[in-house]
């Protein structure tokens, strides 16, 4: 596990087990709708009981990968139900089809975590 200082690029460390929703997506053409939808998804997650944190890769060649971590499957399922209830909020023009060309969701159980930090002198390489 990493040191107690939280790195904002990573979800907070915690001892397994816990669950994660892995999101793989090929992005659609409506960038403003995509940004609004992503902001609402993460805002709702952050307010939800059992939310641990999230990690997201930057967009690369029109693809993203995100991991949203939850204390347990019940917390994740409750968030998914709440997310469906606000679709396509906050803006009725937002539709998943305008945001993603292809979306795959995977639910996994995290059983182990290995975390290593590079020495500061190697970060500049």
Tokens of 110: 């995290």
Please give the average per-residue pLDDT across 113-118, as a whole number.
77
Could you give phi then psi for residue 119, rounded to 5 degrees? Answer: -60, 145
Number of domains observed in the structure of the chain: 1
Residue 47 lies in a domain: yes
Q: Is residue 80, in this structure, part of any structural domain at all? A: yes
CATH label of the domain that carries residue 29: 3.30.70.100
Range of the domain at 63: 18-112
| Cβ atoms of 68 and 26 closer than 8 Å | no
22-53 per-position pLDDT tens digit: 988 877 766 777 777 778 888 889 999 999 99
In this predicted structure, the answer to whether residue 55 has a pLDDT above a threshold of 70 is yes
Tens of pLDDT, residue by residue over 83-104, are 877 654 455 445 555 667 777 8
Radius of gyration over alpha carbons of the chain, in Å? 16
């Amino acid at each position: 596990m990493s040191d107690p200082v939280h790195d904002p690029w990573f979800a907070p460390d915690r001892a397994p087990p816990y669950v994660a929703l892995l999101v793989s997506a090929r992005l659609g053409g409506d960038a403003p709708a995509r940004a609004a939808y992503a902001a609402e998804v993460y805002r709702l997650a952050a307010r939800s009981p059992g939310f641990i944190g999230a990690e997201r890769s930057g967009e690369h060649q029109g693809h993203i990968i995100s991991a949203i971590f939850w204390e347990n499957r019940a917390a994740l399922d409750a968030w998914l139900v709440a997310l469906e209830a606000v679709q396509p909020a906050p803006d009725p023009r937002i539709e998943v089809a305008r945001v993603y060309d292809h979306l795959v969701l995977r639910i996994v159980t995290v059983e182990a975590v290995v975390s290593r930090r590079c020495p500061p002198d190697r970060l500049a390489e």
